[in-house]
C-alpha cells in the first residue's frame, strides 16, 4: 500500500458524524430549555394560584371591615343614632405575602398584561391602605396615651369628629379595593 491510500479520508462520513453530534447537542439543549420553561410555568402558576387565594381571602375580610366601618361613619354623621358599632377597624391585617413572592417568580411572562397591571394597582392601593391604617392606629394610641398621662378622659365624640375625614378616606379606599379585588378574583379564577 502506498502512503496516499493510507491518508485517504472519507470526508462524507466525518461530516455525517459531526452533523449527528451537533444535532444531538442541539436536541439536548432544546429538551433542557423546554424542561426549564415547564418548571418556570409550574412555579408561576403556583404563584398565581397563591395570589388568587390571597385576593379571595382579602376580599372577604375587606368586605366585612367595610360594612363595619360604614356603620361607624353613620354614627359620626348621625350621633343621635344608636349603633352597636363603636370602633373603626383599619384593615392592617390584610395580606400581600403571596403577591410579593409572585413578583419574584417572573410572573410578567405568564400573566396577561392587563391583569398584571390590575394586580400592581390593587396591591399598591392595599399598601397605601395598610400604611394609612397603621398611622390611624398609632395616632389613636398616642391620643389615649396622652389622655392617660394627663389623667383625662378621651372624648370619643370629639375624636370621631376630628378624624371623620380620615375615616371617610379609608372607607373610600376600601370601596376601591373591593372593586379591584373582585375584578382580580374573577379574572384569576381559571
Residue 24 lies in a domain: no
Closest C-alpha among 68, 93, 62, 89 to residue 176: 62
100-150 pLDDT, tens digit per residue, is 988 887 777 778 899 999 999 999 999 999 999 999 999 999 999 999 999
Residue 37 lies in a domain: no
Residue 32 lies in a domain: no
18-48 pLDDT, tens digit per residue, is 999 999 999 999 999 999 989 888 888 888 9
The C-alpha cell of 39 is what? Answer: 418548571
Residue 8 lies in a domain: no
The C-alpha cell of 97 is what? Answer: 405575602
Specify the pTM.
0.81
For residue 10, what pLDDT band results from cuts at 50, 70 and 90? confident
47-86 pLDDT, tens digit per residue, is 899 999 999 999 999 999 999 999 999 988 887 777 777 8
Q: Which pLDDT score is estimated for 7?
A: 61
Residue 43 lies in a domain: no
As a whole number of angstroms, the distance between CA 77 and CA 141 comes to 23
Q: Are 168 and 88 in contact (CB under 8 A)?
A: no
Domain that residue 121 falls in: 48-188
Residue 169 lies in a domain: yes
91-111 pLDDT, tens digit per residue, is 999 999 999 988 887 777 778
- Residue with cell string 439543549: 29
Q: Are 110 and 48 in contact (CB under 8 A)?
A: yes
Residue 59 lies in a domain: yes
Total number of domains in the chain: 1
Amino acid at each position: 500500500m502506498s502512503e496516499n491510500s493510507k491518508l485517504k479520508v472519507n470526508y462524507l462520513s466525518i461530516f455525517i458524524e459531526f452533523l449527528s453530534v451537533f444535532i444531538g447537542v442541539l436536541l439536548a439543549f432544546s429538551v433542557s430549555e423546554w424542561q426549564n420553561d415547564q418548571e418556570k410555568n409550574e412555579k408561576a402558576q403556583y404563584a398565581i394560584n397563591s395570589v388568587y387565594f390571597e385576593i379571595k381571602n382579602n376580599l372577604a375580610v375587606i368586605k366585612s371591615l367595610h360594612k363595619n366601618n360604614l356603620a361607624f361613619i353613620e354614627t359620626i354623621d348621625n350621633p343621635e343614632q344608636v349603633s352597636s358599632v363603636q370602633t373603626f377597624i383599619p384593615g392592617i391585617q390584610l395580606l400581600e405575602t403571596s403577591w410579593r413572592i409572585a413578583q419574584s417568580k417572573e410572573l410578567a411572562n405568564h400573566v396577561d398584561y392587563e391583569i398584571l397591571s390590575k394586580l400592581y394597582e390593587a396591591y399598591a392601593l392595599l399598601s397605601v391602605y395598610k400604611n394609612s391604617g397603621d398611622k390611624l392606629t398609632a395616632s389613636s394610641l398616642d391620643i389615649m396615651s396622652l389622655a392617660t398621662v394627663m389623667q383625662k378622659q378621651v372624648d370619643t365624640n370629639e375624636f370621631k369628629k376630628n378624624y371623620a375625614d380620615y375615616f371617610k378616606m379609608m372607607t373610600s379606599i376600601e370601596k376601591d379595593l373591593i372593586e379591584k379585588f373582585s375584578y382580580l378574583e374573577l379574572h384569576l379564577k381559571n
